[in-house]
Amino acid sequence: MTAIIKEYRHHLFPWLRTLLLAVTGGTLFAWIQIPLPWVLGPMVMILLWSKTLRIPLRWPAGWRNAGLIAIGYTLGTSFTRETMWDMVGHLPLMLAITMITIGCGAGIAWLVSRWTGLNYRTTLTANIPGGLSQMVTLGEEIRGIDITVVTLFQVTRLLIVVFIVPFLIEWLPEENVAKMVPETMRQATTFTDGFLFGSVALLAAWAAWKLKFPTAFLIGPVLAVSLLQILGFEAPPLPPFLNHMGQMFMGAHLGLMIRTEQLIHQRRVPLLAVLTALVLIVISFGISCLFTLWTPTSLTTAFLSLAPGGMAEMGVVAQDIRADLATVTGFQMFRVFFILIFVPPFLRWLFKRSTNTDHKKSPRSLHLTRRDGGNK
């Protein structure tokens, strides 16, 4: 009996507390009409609770994954054959913009390394917008990287983007957004259609997880539902209740990501994490303005497509304001896959080369020191 009580105290009660905070935050933000209420509301409420009352909260990874599946399904319904061919035509532009983004991150990382004394391995991994979990995992695999700094930078940028971008979008011209309503947002025909497409999304998430895809519970449903859409099958839209629930699950997860102890031991790093995130947002907005000159894309859609946030987060914002969801998802997905496929091997090669160079220099430096001492 005592063991059961302890189990409830350590697992069930913190989870119920977190769920209640998430529902309260989402409802409150929706009532006062804050942008992206079912993501920002739970995130703010949980963040404030965990940093003030110090009463334990808990949000299992499975709930966050369930939210990603719901969001991935919605993103997948935005794809059609027409949007696919549009994405294929944009591939050179996608590659160029991704390379520019990585280059800007590398330059910022060099400056941060000079200002803080942190090694370049750490600052470079921290400033590449390749997805929070993926870059943190990469930092754990490469020796010499301060994983606390990497996590702090990646989490800070993600939270700032999620907070700032929805409010920035409010200032952009509405006429460019109104016409970008996805064509596939229609009513479900039967319960069977919804059940079948939902089952496909679940199976795709499981398969992507087994195949070790990046952000598998998001990418799997996006790819599966997109493929069905491209083949001519019409996926019914996700019911609003499930849509809000998926966003709420993700918002609760984001609210628990920042840990206070990470801020105590690093004095200048938190400020630099905020500044670098803001710089990347400004750079992305500048590139977005150029993007609208090269293509007929609206500024809102371009900004969400290039913003240095996660694909799920930017996709949710795009859905909320009725931007071109297919374009946003396509650009964000391309950047995620490009960075995760090509950047980790390159970083390993680069860091291994720098380590070998340091090892080669060290014996020579020691020899010169001894020779100089002997001459004296």
Phi and psi dihedrals of 257, rounded to 5? -75, -40
- CA distance linking residue 204 with residue 244, whole number of Å: 21
Looking at residues 78-102, what average pLDDT do you find?
A: 84
Kindly report the pTM of this predicted structure: 0.69
What DSSP letter does each residue of 91-148 carry, written as one string?
HHHHHHHHHHHHHHHHHHHHHHHHHH---HHHHHHHH--S-HHHHHHHHHHSTT--HH
What is the number of other CB atoms lying within 10 angstroms of the CB of residue 345?
9
Q: Which helix (H) or strand (E) holds 189?
A: none
Q: How does the average pLDDT of the chain come out, rounded?
A: 78
- CA distance linking residue 354 with residue 38, whole number of Å: 45
Digit-coded pLDDT (tens) for 290-327: 988 888 888 888 888 888 877 777 888 887 777 888 88
Contact predicate 110/217, CB 8 Å: no
Confidence label for 22 from pLDDT (cuts 50, 70 and 90): very high
What local confidence, expressed as pLDDT, does residue 168 receive?
80
Based on DSSP, count helices (H) and strands (E) in the chain, helices before strands: 18, 0
- CA distance linking residue 216 with residue 29, whole number of Å: 29
Digit-coded pLDDT (tens) for 171-180: 766 544 444 4
Distances (CA, A) of 52 to 10, 13, 131: 19, 18, 28
Contact predicate 170/35, CB 8 Å: yes
In this model, does residue 371 exceed pLDDT 50? no
Confidence label for 57 from pLDDT (cuts 50, 70 and 90): confident
Span of 21-35, 234-248, 300-314, 337-351 with lowest mean pLDDT: 337-351
| Domain layout of the chain by residue ranges | 2-355
What is the number of other CB atoms lying within 10 angstroms of the CB of residue 45?
24
Please name the CATH architecture into which domain 2-355 falls: Up-down Bundle (1.20)
Looking at residues 59-70, what average pLDDT do you find?
A: 88
- CA distance linking residue 156 with residue 334, whole number of Å: 22
> 73: number of CA atoms within 13 Å, CB side?
28
Q: Which residue has the higher pLDDT, 265 or 192?
A: 192
What local confidence, expressed as pLDDT, does residue 229 receive?
87
Digit-coded pLDDT (tens) for 206-238: 998 998 876 788 888 988 998 998 888 888 888
Q: In a 3-state reduction of DSSP, which class is residue 56? A: coil
